[in-house]
Amino acid sequence: MSNYLNYIGGRWTESSTGEKHEHFNPAKPSESIGFTQVSSIEDVKEAVQHAKIAFSDWKQRSSVERGDILRKAADFLEENVQEIAEIATKEMGKRIVETKGEVLRGAMILRYFAQEGMRKTGEMLPSANPKNTLYTTRVPVGVVSVISPWNFPIAIPIWKIAPALVYGNTVVWKPAQDTGISAVKIAEVFEKAGLPAGVLNLVNGRGSALGNSIVEHEDVAAITFTGSNEVGRAIGIRAVAQNKKFQLELGGKNPVVVLKDADIDLAAKLTIEGSMKQTGQRCTATSRVYVEEAIYDLFMEKIIGIVKDIKVGDGINESVTMGPVASKKQYETVCSYIEKGIEEGGNLYYGGKTLEGPDYQGGYFIEPTIFENVTNEMTIAKEEIFGPVLAVIRVTNYEEALEKANDTIYG
């Protein structure tokens, strides 16, 4: 079984703890797909130190040169699309069609920011004194900490790493532990593209153990994080206390509003795509829909017709239209929300069961689930579920729909 290493200072290295994390396929939990490192705070300190040293040279290089490296990385990413997509699918269950699309999206992001290296980096401005020259120029901030999630293990970290690099910053990257193998494959792409040693450093491990050290290290100038609201708030507080730049992409509880003059077939199609695609594991997933009373019954009929055609199974199988949830922990979380929806009086209109038997090999499969008779006071209408669960809420008109859609901490 492969042992995937950290990437620190241009070297592939084991964690100083000697501890490893074993990865299992959520579609078949008996299938081990490899080991990644469980890094320590000492590993983080080493990574930051290498990034700090590398920054002195990297910031002096032409942005055009930095962009060329990103362009080469895009080429390598495309050349290895099948391998990287299969690893991501086996790590977190997303369908192979979606992980391939994510790899290709990552290449597009790299090319976009490669071109940013050709753009102007400042301005010349007029002065009241003819002997003076006024100008502005953009400069990199230094070492950037990238903390990325498991649900988009390729596109989101590249979204963060590419702009940081092309603008002259160096990076210490801590991916979600569940998708650490995918992260190693991305780091390999940057290494092949000729990124100098220390410019990108990868440490795998538990966010709970490493998060504070990554955020609070005195040589880290900026933090970019995608994940839960709870963790994001804690990062923001620490970043503000240390006067660091920070960027947070957190959760949501995204509504759809369907009115009586809508194209009902299109509305139903987009609602189910938004709620069930990637098994609902997106911060932009549709998790509640407000439907005007006059077309409520017709809309329910349409979405059930679409949901019945969803084929649940192993994401490697290209005929499957919905894979498993990403992990046992996520499986238990989604199941608990379904139970709470029933307990609080929601009508389980469709699905809601876990899928078992020889076709599912003990995987973390949950049926597409639709609740109706949901109120805004119910937990499933208020909290982010991150699973294939849709709450349908009847409203009398647009004004009521808008009011209820905004009646949330995310509004």
- The whole-angstrom separation of Cα 391 and Cα 129 is 65
Residue 379 has which token pair? Answer: 């937990």
- The whole-angstrom separation of Cα 245 and Cα 95 is 35
| Residue with token string 């679409």 | 306
Could you tell me the end-to-end alpha-carbon distance of the chain, in angstroms, rounded to an integer? 46
Rounded (5°) CA angle 78-83-85: 80
Locate all alpha helices (DSSP H) within 197-309, ordered by sequence. Answer: 207-216, 229-241, 264-276, 296-307
Q: How far is CA 213 from the centre of its chain?
A: 21
| Residue with token string 């003819």 | 130
Q: Are strands 254-258 and 245-249 parallel, antiparallel or unpaired?
A: unpaired
Give the C-alpha distances (Å, rounded to integers) separating 129 from 123, 124, 125, 132, 136. Answer: 17, 14, 12, 5, 17
| Residue with token string 């040279």 | 57
Rounded (5°) CA angle 378-382-388: 95
Residue from 171, 163, 143 nearest 7 by CA: 171
Residue from 358, 359, 338 nearest 350 by CA: 338
- The whole-angstrom separation of Cα 252 and Cα 176 is 19
The secondary structure element, H or E, covering residue 393 is strand 389-395
Active site residues: 249, 283
- The whole-angstrom separation of Cα 369 and Cα 384 is 15
